[in-house]
Amino acid sequence: MNPDDPQRDIRAAEQQAHARIAAALARLVGPDAVSVPHPYLSRYLAHHAALGGALDDSRVPPGLLPWVVGDGVRGLLGLPQAHRADRAWLTAWAAVEPYVQDADHPSRCTSLHLAYTALRFPGVPRQRLPQEAAEFAGSRLCVLWSRWTPPSNVLATLSRRSLSLATTEGPGGAELLAVGNEGGGIELLDAVTGAPVGDRIPAHDGDVRCLFFAACSTGGGALVSGSTDGTVRVWDTTRGTLLDHRTFGGRTWTSAVTGYRDDAGTLTVAAINGDGAVKLWRDDSEEHHLADLSPHPSEGAAFALTLAVGPGGRQLLIGVGRTLSIWDAADHRLLHEYPVDAPVRSLTDTTVPGRIATGHTDGSITLWDTASGAQATLTGEGEPVTALVALRVDGLDLLAAAGSGSAIDLWDTGAERRTGQLTGHTDTVTALRPFSADGTDRLASTARDNTVRLWDTRAIRRALRGSVTTPAVVTAAITPDSVAGPQLAVSYATSQTQVWDTLSGSSTGTFDSDSQRPSSALTWAQGNQGRHLLLWSASDHSIRSWDPVPGTAVGPPLQGHSQPIRALAATVACNGRRVIISSDDFTVLLWDLDRGRSLQRWRHPYTVRTVAAASDGVSADWFASGSADGAVRLWSTTDEAPRHVFYCSQGIINAVAINAGPSPSSPFLASGGDDGTVRLWDLSALAPVGEPLQGHTGPVEAITTWTTTSDVPRPFVASSSRDGTIRFWDVATPSRCILQLATGSPVHTLSAYPSGESADTVVLAMAGEAGVAVLEVDLADRSPTG
């Protein structure tokens, strides 16, 4: 016993006991992921290993992970995960764990297998993989090769888009994140594990645009929320109950909320609405109308509100519209008022007392001294700065800023320059919040990709050093029947396009598609002698051709669009080779590649997001477009009007695919939309097939379809969503999702063709901002009646 610190000896003994328990329990885990473990193992083994400081692959064997139902492995490992050789399987499971909570066992095994292989053996072809990566009992796939990096810092996935963030305190003093979302809900998450705490709070009738937590010195506190419904509400997060309800009145919304306590612990809530009215509420007392801020002449509804610490520790309330107004929070006296050059979208205090920052619609950030006014302007890239928070790392006073993009900019306020970016979100970042939990300083972020992500000081340091991840993939296209073997073309965000051998993962060609921007659309068109030409979109809105055999451009460009190209699709039609092109100029062009001439220009009332083309090679060709008006149009090559319109009721149509057969059933079209559903349409009867396919929790980004080569051909559909999953559907039983694959990051491009290995396998190429991977997936029916 240590006489100086007996408690340390007790803690050490407890840790050793948990480590021994974990080691003993690990020996009871079956040899593979198919063996059903004892419920105690699946619920408590990882917890014992974590308490024992022995959380690694030997104490928590890979075969147990798909069965884990207790503590989240992500939380036990800590976020973001640091890659360690003895935790390779655990880290892989943590990467997909948020996406497989409701998935069946084969889907969990398959998702774990993909994540492990992608993280542990990037770029290694199947024939060179070690046994544990080449095959994993219970998995339905093998990885032909992968350059895919699932994110390691996703705390939670959400069913609704989030708009606001706050740290708060839950039962027992647990550190929580409060997430306000579209539709008026507030979700509470454990800030360490990401597990939901309690039920979703139906807080408002409009979107929850702003949140603020006012702590109490005796523990707990109050969560203040503001909404587009014009109300302000105060919540007890330890009980999930409503403490107070206030409204601005009239047809307006709440732009920002904050709160503070006096020496007696009495809470004052402050809020500003879309008209610039600033109101204060002190517990149950009547409201106090503090001021009416004037709108900025360039944007009449840009208002913000925050608290800051001024000189001498004085607490300040700061509001901004046309001017920046500073009040003493104690007696509400107006202390200073400064003119504002550009409309403000965000406002924050900084890590330096007496200094605040405003983010503007023109992308700039202004640093202010509360006693003297504007000090410096940091010039951004023109995107409105809609989220802005301060943090301090390694002695640097930083600002984290987000706009309409998916990256988070880091600014050094001392040097007055941008010093790095945090990248990983795959859609617009909506909210930022710094906080400390479990003894670690972190930055939390939410985005329209429906994820909550954590960035620790290691991630921020890497960003400040300029470390970058693998270039994101913009789009990809596969050809299954080239004489040179199946080829996968990939367009990267670096403006480089690379061609890969689909089966081996070796590069067969590279070219710089455009010096100004990456190619936004790719497709293969059949060429001479069984070869294929790659068609790609250039920055001048034309389509260029590239022959991978000599590695040179061929033929004249296809011109006719005045705005960027959205999508391409090619087919060998009954009367020759055809390519269909969609553009942001609201038109779709159909080209005859054999004669090099345009055949039709089809006009749309809204932006065209996606196109598809297919032919049975005998008597029927199909050309389809999906647009932002929620409709899919079928076109005839001889008419400028659509031959048929499918009104899909799916929101914006992001993806369409056509299956022309061979199939026992009629040819069909699959459409995917913003509502997360996939719908099937019979192209002979021009009618829907069954009910919408449901399961995705985010917009469908891409769809592919194929027919197996078995004696009785069987059609399938695969759909990828912004929710970070791919779902496989058996068209013969369209209500049935036969496999769910967690990718951990949205897949924007899907291509598939029967592999030839067996009648039930398919080669699937997927691409997105996390990279590219080629998989062979086994979809054999293994149900008890199959």
CB atoms within 10 A of CB 260: 17
Pairing mode, strands 771-778 and 141-148: antiparallel
| C-alpha–C-alpha distance, residues 699 and 672, integer Å | 8
Query: In this model, does residue 785 exceed pLDDT 50?
Result: no
Contact call for residues 291 and 278 (beta carbons, < 8 A) = yes
Contact call for residues 47 and 69 (beta carbons, < 8 A) = no
Structure confidence at residue 784 as a pLDDT band (50, 70, 90): very low
Query: In this model, does residue 317 exceed pLDDT 90?
Result: yes
Per-range mean pLDDT, top range of 148-152, 338-342, 472-476 = 338-342
Residue reference for tokens 């396009």: 497
Higher pLDDT, 528 or 498: 498
> Does a structural domain hold residue 43?
yes
Q: Percentage of the chain with pLDDT > 90?
A: 56
Contact call for residues 656 and 610 (beta carbons, < 8 A) = yes
> Does a structural domain hold residue 115?
yes
* 779 Cβ contact list (under 8 Å, min separation 6): 140, 708, 716, 728, 730, 738, 739, 760, 761, 762
CATH assignment of the domain containing 596? 2.40.10.480
Residue reference for tokens 């899909």: 648
- Phi/psi of residue 77, each to 5°? -80, -30
> Does a structural domain hold residue 19?
yes
Query: In this model, does residue 250 exceed pLDDT 80?
Result: no
**How much is the pLDDT for 239?**
77
Question: Which of 266, 272, 264, 267 minimizes the C-alpha distance to 306?
Answer: 272
Long-range contacts: 606-609, Cβ < 8 Å, 24+? 607/566, 608/566, 608/567, 608/582, 608/583, 609/566, 609/567, 609/582, 609/652, 609/653, 609/654, 609/655
Higher pLDDT, 568 or 662: 568
Structure confidence at residue 482 as a pLDDT band (50, 70, 90): low
Average pLDDT over residues 267-276: 93
Burial tier of 244 (Cβ tally within 10 Å: 0-12, 13-18, 19+):
middle
Query: In this model, does residue 736 exceed pLDDT 90?
Result: no
> Does a structural domain hold residue 662?
no
Q: Rounded to a whole number, what is the distance in angstroms from the first to the last CA of the chain?
A: 64
Residue reference for tokens 């499918």: 646
At 558, list the tokens.
């296809």
* 408 Cβ contact list (under 8 Å, min separation 6): 400, 401, 402, 421, 422, 423, 425, 429, 432, 443, 445, 455
> Does a structural domain hold residue 243?
no
Pairing mode, strands 715-721 and 700-707: antiparallel
Structure confidence at residue 6 as a pLDDT band (50, 70, 90): low
Number of domains into which the chain is organized: 2
Average pLDDT over residues 371-378: 89
* 541 Cβ contact list (under 8 Å, min separation 6): 559, 561, 562, 563, 564, 565, 583
> Does a structural domain hold residue 47?
yes
Model confidence, pTM: 0.83
Q: Dump pLDDT digits (tens) for 118-128.
A: 999 999 999 99
Q: Percentage of the chain with pLDDT > 70?
A: 94
Residue type (1 letter), 5: D
At 381, list the tokens.
């890239």
Domain end (from 621, 647, 673): 647
> Does a structural domain hold residue 779?
no
Q: Residue 75's domain spans which residues?
A: 6-132
Domain end (from 76, 101, 132): 132
> Does a structural domain hold residue 354?
no
Domain end (from 94, 116, 132): 132
- Sheet of 355-360: strands edge to edge? 344-349, 355-360, 365-369, 373-378
